[in-house]
Chain A
């Protein structure tokens, strides 16, 4: 039975998506100690931000992307190396999310580049390693993919704002806290990103069915 046909599920409760992790003060302290090389603090800090990183990476790459695990781990490595530069001006999980976004976008571009190269060698047979997982052509999947492609082309700040807002479902205030920018700046970034999204949608009339309403 599809979930749609079951009103028990289809009538959704207003449960909000996961926001920024709480206990920010503790996370800041851990980040400070992790930056100075404290192993226990590093472990605890990585465990704290790890679910958020996973969601960001999965948002950019897709939950079934074969490079997802590696991207998360690369993000954690990049994060720990970047901690000495963290000045505490934003939420530690936000700082981690932004680093993950960059890493995941880089991984995505690399995989695309490799896929392009592989096309020349298709006659050698399919290779599982490094290739995108099985394709999902559902409406939702296509919407996600459109947004991911847009993220690649947006200026970094706009891509960051759009990811945290749409992929992570964070409020304007949470995005502002995560990025260390004023709320109005975030609002402006989101608006610009949405205009780019509008242009992307309008350029492709075939995408009409993706717009959300039947």
Chain B
């Protein structure tokens, strides 16, 4: 694509989903070659991801697959941010919560939901508010625990202070009823929401293979979605299902490399190695370079240095002019086998 005003946003999205087929990758690269705005955007996305990683807001290294092809420098990790906990605000809000709660006790309001009590405030501190987490162990691959500010106490104090300063009980009741009705109508939920049971929609989403016949594209999309949300187990299962049910499809071929990379990133170097080797043993060659590099990385993770060096040499031999060839050279140098 050479019309720089038409930016291939969908291709960007497919790339992030790991769903970019080789011809699409070529199209995206061609566009990036001609469009400085998209090049800037691509590089900026990496920059912001690196920063988020340094901040601790992501719990696994983010990466964009075209980075090596574009020769974009991977910035060094930023030093740990200087933490200056805004104690003024936290203490102020905590104090406000305590004062308000005390006032509530004095006026006999404690115990009348939804007003909070002092005990609730401290109970919340003792049990961090992470109840969504068990159902979504890596929701959005963002880890609250790894983030810079101690979330739970701050959240608890803020919540307590804010709830205490809320409108009168009558107003709150009216708002609650109106909003509950609106939301339930919009969600088509007739009974009162039960937080412990998944909605019909969620249940459907969790059983795609049972509810309707899957297609290769649908399975691939769901697997990618699971991978993006950090659910490695589900993603892995769906990729395997895709490969079993649609063995000749482009999605299945692509998924072999995607799954192997996923396994490599999640620490299963042996599984990743098997995946790369299976792909390389097949007839598809669209992602051969990535698979060869992945195999070399997996061997490196397994500590099989001689085989790793041999794998990098193959990369160097087959793709001497590419960024992979250059990286292979650097790695071989590091291994003492130039």
Q: Residue-by-residue, is A152-177 near B (CB-CB < 8 Å gives 1, otherwise 0)?
A: 00000000000001111101110000
Q: Please judge, given known A-B contacts A32-B176, A50-B155, A143-B43, whether A37 and B114 are in contact too, CB under 8 Å.
A: yes
Q: Please judge, given known A-B contacts A13-B265, A36-B114, A69-B86, whether A42 and B179 are in contact too, CB under 8 Å.
A: no
Q: Which residues of A contact B86 (CB under 8 A)?
A: 69-70, 73
**Residue A48 contacts which of B20, B121, B132, B199 (CB distance < 8 angstroms)?**
B132
User: Is there contact, CB below 8 Å, between A22 and B13?
Assistant: no
User: Is there contact, CB below 8 Å, between A50 and B147?
Assistant: yes
Interface membership of A120, Cβ < 8 A: no
**Residue A63 contacts which of B81, B140, B175 (CB distance < 8 angstroms)?**
B81
User: Is there contact, CB below 8 Å, between A58 and B51?
Assistant: yes
Q: Which residues of A contact B68 (CB under 8 A)?
A: 10-12
Q: Quick one: closest B residue to A36, CB to CB?
A: B176
Interface membership of A2, Cβ < 8 A: yes
Q: Residue-by-residue, is A25-52 near B (CB-CB < 8 Å gives 1, otherwise 0)?
A: 1111110111111111011101110111
User: Is there contact, CB below 8 Å, between A147 and B44?
Assistant: yes
Binding-face segment, A98-106, A109-117, A189-197 = A189-197
Q: Which residues of B contact A166 (CB under 8 A)?
A: 41, 44-45, 48
Total A-B residue contacts, Cβ distance less than 8 Å: 349
**Residue A51 contacts which of B65, B85, B140, B180 (CB distance < 8 angstroms)?**
B140
Instruction: Give Cα A80 to B156, complex, Å.
Output: 13
Q: Please judge, given known A-B contacts A54-B147, A172-B9, whether A13 and B40 are in contact too, CB under 8 Å.
A: no
Q: How many residues of A contact B (CB 8 A)?
A: 99
B residues 244-281 near A (Cβ < 8 Å) are 258, 261-262, 264-265
Q: Quick one: closest A residue to B301, CB to CB?
A: A8
User: Is there contact, CB below 8 Å, between A39 and B15?
Assistant: no
Q: Which residues of B contact A201 (CB under 8 A)?
A: 36-37, 40
Interface membership of B16, Cβ < 8 A: yes
Interface of B is mostly: helix
Interface membership of B124, Cβ < 8 A: yes
Interface membership of B228, Cβ < 8 A: yes
Interface membership of B21, Cβ < 8 A: no
Q: What would be 20 A-B contacts, judged by CB atoms less than 8 Å apart? A: A9-B74, A13-B63, A14-B63, A22-B140, A25-B199, A26-B135, A32-B179, A43-B155, A46-B155, A46-B158, A58-B57, A73-B86, A80-B159, A84-B175, A138-B75, A140-B46, A143-B40, A173-B13, A212-B36, A214-B73
- Additional A-B contacts beyond A13-B65, A139-B73 (15; CB < 8 A): A10-B68, A12-B65, A14-B64, A19-B229, A22-B229, A26-B135, A36-B173, A47-B131, A48-B132, A54-B57, A140-B47, A143-B44, A147-B44, A169-B49, A210-B40
Instruction: Please give the residue numbers on chain B whose beta carbons come within 8 Å of chain A beta carbons, in ascending order.
Output: 5, 7, 9-10, 13, 15-18, 20, 32, 36-52, 54-55, 57-58, 60-65, 67-68, 70-78, 81-86, 89-90, 113-116, 120-121, 124, 128-132, 135-136, 139-144, 147-149, 151-152, 154-156, 158-160, 162-163, 166-167, 169, 172-173, 175-176, 179-180, 182-183, 186-187, 193, 195, 198-199, 201-202, 224, 227-229, 258, 261-262, 264-265, 293-294, 296-297, 300-301, 312, 324, 327-328, 330-331, 334
